[in-house]
């Protein structure tokens, strides 16, 4: 993140509301500024975006609070809740359902944002209307990312498709605009990632971490702009 501030909650901050923590004089300085930052998707708690509904979340010691002031797309208020009919279903059969997830909605619910809309909650409504069981999660994509998400309708289908993802058989292609101009124009990012059970996200870890898994992403620059690139 560029233009980013980061703080770690100390023991003395335990039990403090997120908005009060950020409203301190050496941070944002007022509740009004905090509310605007939350509305516009500029606040992250333990790497997970926090919205206005999360203002009252109580911090625990060790929580990481980040502020991304120049986050792309944050000049205006973030989109509100998605309605029941918002599912963009591209494929469905007896075993699978594939949806086009818009940016601004979670793939699956997060414990700290249980009231936030997600594709899973919309799918549950969709399945309930036709007498089907709940969807089985196969994989997810980030809140700000739009694209295809696969869900299974049976435990067997879920197991088999998740195995395909573990074997890295599906090819996943993303288009993204990034700051600056990557050099070289083509290459590969390699990271070692570990699953954070608290934040429900993957984080970078030490190369020798036994709990980590290797992640590899090939990139290619498609177009260059003044201060950014389409890759």
- Positions annotated as catalytic residues are 142
Per-residue tokens: 59: 């911090």
Distant-in-sequence, close-in-space partners of 34: CB < 8 Å, separation ≥ 6: 19, 22, 23, 28, 43, 55
H helices present in the chain, as ranges: 18-22, 31-39, 119-129, 155-166
> What is d(CA 231, CA 219) in angstroms, rounded to the nearest whole number?
6
In whole angstroms, how far apart are CA 176 and each of 102, 107, 147, 223? Answer: 14, 19, 12, 11
> What is d(CA 220, CA 175) in angstroms, rounded to the nearest whole number?
10
What is the bridge-based pairing of β-strands 136-137 and 177-179? unpaired
> What is d(CA 159, CA 152) in angstroms, rounded to the nearest whole number?
9
């Amino acid at each position: 993140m560029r233009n980013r501030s980061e703080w770690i909650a100390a023991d003395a901050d335990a039990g403090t509301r997120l908005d009060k923590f950020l409203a301190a004089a050496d941070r944002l300085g007022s509740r009004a500024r905090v509310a605007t930052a939350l509305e516009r998707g500029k606040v992250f708690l333990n790497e997970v975006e926090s919205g206005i509904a999360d203002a009252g979340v109580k911090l625990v010691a060790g929580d990481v609070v980040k502020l991304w002031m120049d986050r792309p797309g944050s000049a205006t208020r973030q989109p509100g809740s998605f309605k029941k009919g918002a599912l963009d279903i591209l494929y469905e059969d007896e075993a699978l359902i594939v949806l086009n997830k818009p940016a601004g909605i979670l793939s699956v619910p997060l414990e700290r944002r249980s009231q936030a809309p997600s594709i899973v909650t919309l799918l549950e409504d969709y399945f309930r209307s036709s007498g089907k069981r709940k969807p089985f999660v196969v994989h997810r994509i980030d809140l700000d990312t739009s694209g295809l998400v696969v869900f299974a309708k049976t435990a067997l289908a879920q197991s088999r498709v998740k195995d395909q993802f573990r074997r890295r058989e599906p090819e996943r292609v993303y288009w993204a605009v990034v700051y600056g101009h990557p050099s070289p124009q083509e290459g590969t990012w390699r990271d070692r990632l570990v699953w954070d059970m608290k934040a429900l996200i993957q984080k970078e870890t030490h190369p020798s971490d036994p709990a980590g898994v290797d992640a590899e992403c090939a990139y290619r620059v498609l177009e260059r702009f003044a201060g950014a690139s389409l890759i």
